């Protein structure tokens, strides 16, 4: 359906563009031809004036019509001259339509007064010339009919088109205003919800983590066992880092406008691995290929992959050997985190919500993520192309 819709849209747009570009020029040609035909008696009263005069008036009427987008007075003048000199109505019809379309209140009343003066002048000229000209332009019935056809109907049509345009503009403005109000309301609702979530996280999570840090600090001071002191120090340090990260998240939630929490990249990978080693994991890092400058988005995604993989290792195979391998490719980066079997015998689960979120993040960059059990252990492998992260 999409190609068909584009075809229909293009087929309707092309004629509209042609009309917008050449419509006025075509109308000018029609008016000039109508003035000439009227003066020669083909569609009006034959004029006794020389052909050169008729040609000049016809050309002037066509030129005046061609300027209606920028100026109005030339077509009004051409309408008056055409009717008084040649009894030609073409320019008058265009002038009345333009008056209804563009003039308002006092100017429109001035135009109607001028049109009445021109029609009265046409009556005087018709009486003086006599013959067919008198019958056509000076009799009461014909004058009323001509006033309706030359002034009334085109004027009413112009007024209707203008009213329709004004209505469409008003409806468009109203729709845009309603859309802005709807977006503003949605923004307010989102801001209120973000504030509520931040308040809940601060009241519950931050309080609990603070208690954990305090108790860990007390245990670090009072414990006699060096291993216990080291573990308490690690818990206290990790808790403080968690509080710092939580404050950043709460700051983002409380902001009216969306903000981005600064994320770490590959330059912080050694620190991440060091923290995992401190927590008791046996982790080694291996780099393959020629290291190159990578886009920041790619580096952040690779860091997230390694962090999530190591978190899962700590949860489910804390005693397993783990390898973090970065392979620099000509067109991207391969990130591989693999752990061996766990001696504790705990079963390795399938991909959880964290891995699902990572898969979405990697696929947004045009890459792919694999997470699967391998030889009693678990493998997380991400291939991230440079093109998607650029």
Give 252-289 pLDDT, tens digit per residue: 666 655 444 556 788 888 888 888 888 778 899 999 88
**At 143, phi and psi to the nearest 5?**
-65, -45
Instruction: Give the pLDDT band of residue 2 (cuts 50, 70, 90).
Output: very low
- CA dist 57 and 55 (Å) reads 5
- CA dist 124 and 130 (Å) reads 10
Do 278 and 355 share a domain, yes or no? yes
The sign of the dihedral angle between the CA atoms of 136, 138, 142, 146 is: positive
**Residue 267 token pair:** 């330059």
Position 60 pLDDT exceeds 80: yes
Position 10 pLDDT exceeds 70: no
**Residue 180 token pair:** 């802005």
Range from 44-53, 170-179, 243-252 that averages highest in pLDDT? 170-179
**Mean pLDDT, range 328-336, rounded to an integer:** 90
Instruction: Kindly report the number of other CB atoms within 10 A of residue 366's CB atom.
Output: 14
- CA dist 314 and 293 (Å) reads 30
Do 227 and 309 share a domain, yes or no? no
Where does a domain end: 215, 232, 255?
A: 255
Instruction: Give the pLDDT band of residue 7 (cuts 50, 70, 90).
Output: low
Do 277 and 375 share a domain, yes or no? yes
Surface-to-core class of residue 71, CB atoms within 10 Å of its CB (0-12 exposed, 13-18 middle, 19+ buried): exposed
What is the residue range of 226's domain?
A: 192-255
Q: Which of 306, 273, 291 is closest to 382 using CA atoms?
A: 306
Instruction: Kindly report the number of other CB atoms within 10 A of residue 378's CB atom.
Output: 26
pLDDT, greater one: 356 or 348: 356
Where does a domain end: 255, 282, 301?
A: 255
**Mean pLDDT, range 68-90, rounded to an integer:** 85
Is pTM, for the whole model, over 0.75? no
Q: 204 forms bridges with which residues in the sheet?
A: none
Residue 179, domain member (yes or no): no
Instruction: Give the pLDDT band of residue 338 (cuts 50, 70, 90).
Output: very high
What's the whole-number average pLDDT of the chain?
A: 82
Residue 260, domain member (yes or no): no
**Mean pLDDT, range 330-358, rounded to an integer:** 74
Do 126 and 87 share a domain, yes or no? yes
**Mean pLDDT, range 298-325, rounded to an integer:** 87
Instruction: Give the pLDDT band of residue 380 (cuts 50, 70, 90).
Output: very high
Residue whose structure tokens are 């309707």:
12
Do 249 and 271 share a domain, yes or no? no
Residue 41, domain member (yes or no): yes
Q: Which of 336, 333, 334, 337 is closest to 292 using CA atoms?
A: 333
Do 20 and 132 share a domain, yes or no? yes
The contacts of residue 254 (CB under 8 Å, 6+ apart) are: 194, 195, 198
Residue 371, domain member (yes or no): yes
- CA dist 304 and 179 (Å) reads 37
Instruction: Give the pLDDT band of residue 1 (cuts 50, 70, 90).
Output: very low
Three-class SS of residue 322?
strand
pLDDT, greater one: 277 or 19: 277
- pLDDT (0 to 100) of residue 232: 82
The contacts of residue 307 (CB under 8 Å, 6+ apart) are: 272
- CA dist 128 and 117 (Å) reads 17
**Mean pLDDT, range 30-53, rounded to an integer:** 83
Instruction: Give the pLDDT band of residue 351 (cuts 50, 70, 90).
Output: very low
> Alpha helices of the chain — where are they, by DSSP H?
2-39, 51-66, 73-81, 90-102, 105-129, 131-137, 140-147, 153-201, 207-222, 226-254, 269-278, 296-316, 353-364, 386-389
Length of the chain equals 390
Position 352 pLDDT exceeds 80: no
Do 272 and 349 share a domain, yes or no? yes
Computed on alpha carbons and rounded to an integer, the radius of gyration of the chain in Å comes to 42
Do 326 and 374 share a domain, yes or no? yes
pLDDT, greater one: 243 or 390: 243
Calculate ∠ Cα 254-296-355, nearest 5°. 70
- pLDDT (0 to 100) of residue 257: 52
Q: How many domains does the chain have?
A: 3
Residue 221, domain member (yes or no): yes
**Mean pLDDT, range 98-105, rounded to an integer:** 88
| Percent residues over pLDDT 70 in the chain | 88
Residue 147, domain member (yes or no): no
Do 341 and 272 share a domain, yes or no? yes
Residue whose structure tokens are 């061609």:
66
Instruction: Give the pLDDT band of residue 12 (cuts 50, 70, 90).
Output: low
Position 156 pLDDT exceeds 90: yes
Residue 144, domain member (yes or no): no
Q: What CATH number did the domain enclosing 349 receive?
A: 3.30.565.10
Do 123 and 213 share a domain, yes or no? no
- pLDDT (0 to 100) of residue 353: 66
Do 52 and 81 share a domain, yes or no? yes
Calculate ∠ Cα 286-360-248, nearest 5°. 80
Residue 214, domain member (yes or no): yes
Instruction: Give the pLDDT band of residue 344 (cuts 50, 70, 90).
Output: low
**Mean pLDDT, range 25-41, rounded to an integer:** 85
- pLDDT (0 to 100) of residue 299: 87
How far from 124 is each of 44, 128, 129, 149, 167, CA to CA, in Å?
18, 6, 9, 19, 42
- pLDDT (0 to 100) of residue 237: 81
Instruction: Kindly report the number of other CB atoms within 10 A of residue 216's CB atom.
Output: 20
Where does a domain end: 255, 287, 304?
A: 255
Do 271 and 232 share a domain, yes or no? no
Cβ(303)–Cβ(337) below 8 Å: no
């Amino acid at each position: 359906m999409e190609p068909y819709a584009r075809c229909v849209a293009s087929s309707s747009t092309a004629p509209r563009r042609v009309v917008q570009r050449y419509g006025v020029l075509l109308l000018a040609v029609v008016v000039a031809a109508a003035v000439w035909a009227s003066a020669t008696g083909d569609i009006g009263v034959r004029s006794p004036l020389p052909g050169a005069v008729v040609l000049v008036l016809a050309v002037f009427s066509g030129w005046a019509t061609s300027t209606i987008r920028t100026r109005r007075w030339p077509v009004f003048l051409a309408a008056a001259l055409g009717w008084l000199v040649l009894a030609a109505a073409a320019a008058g019809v265009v002038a009345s339509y333009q008056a209804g379309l563009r003039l308002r209140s006092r100017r429109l009343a001035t135009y109607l007064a001028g049109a009445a003066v021109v029609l009265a002048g046409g009556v005087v000229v018709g009486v003086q010339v006599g013959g067919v000209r008198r019958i056509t332009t000076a009799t009461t019935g014909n004058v009323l009919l001509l006033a309706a056809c030359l002034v009334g109907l085109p004027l009413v049509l112009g007024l209707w088109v203008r009213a329709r345009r004004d209505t469409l503009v008003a409806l468009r403005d109203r729709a845009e205003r309603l859309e802005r109000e709807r977006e503003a309301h949605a923004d307010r609702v989102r801001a209120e919800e973000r504030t509520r979530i931040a308040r809940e996280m601060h009241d519950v999570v931050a309080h609990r983590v603070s208690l954990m840090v305090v108790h860990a600090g007390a245990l670090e001071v009072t414990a006699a066992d060096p291993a216990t002191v080291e573990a308490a120090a690690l818990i206290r340090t990790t808790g403080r880092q968690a509080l710092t990260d939580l404050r950043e998240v709460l700051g983002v939630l409380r902001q009216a406008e969306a903000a981005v929490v600064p994320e770490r990249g590959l330059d912080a990978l050694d620190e991440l691995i060091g923290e995992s080693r401190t927590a008791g994991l046996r982790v080694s890092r291996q780099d393959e290929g020629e290291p190159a400058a990578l886009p920041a988005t790619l580096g952040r995604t690779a860091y997230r992959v390694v962090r999530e993989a190591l978190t899962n290792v700590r949860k489910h195979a804390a005693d397993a050997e783990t390898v973090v391998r970065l392979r620099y490719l000509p067109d991207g980066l391969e990130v591989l985190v693999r752990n061996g079997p766990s001696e504790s015998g705990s079963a390795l689960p399938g991909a959880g919500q964290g891995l699902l979120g990572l898969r979405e993040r990697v696929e947004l960059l045009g890459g792919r993520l694999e997470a699967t059990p391998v030889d009693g252990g678990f493998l997380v492998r991400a291939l991230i192309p440079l093109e998607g992260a650029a």
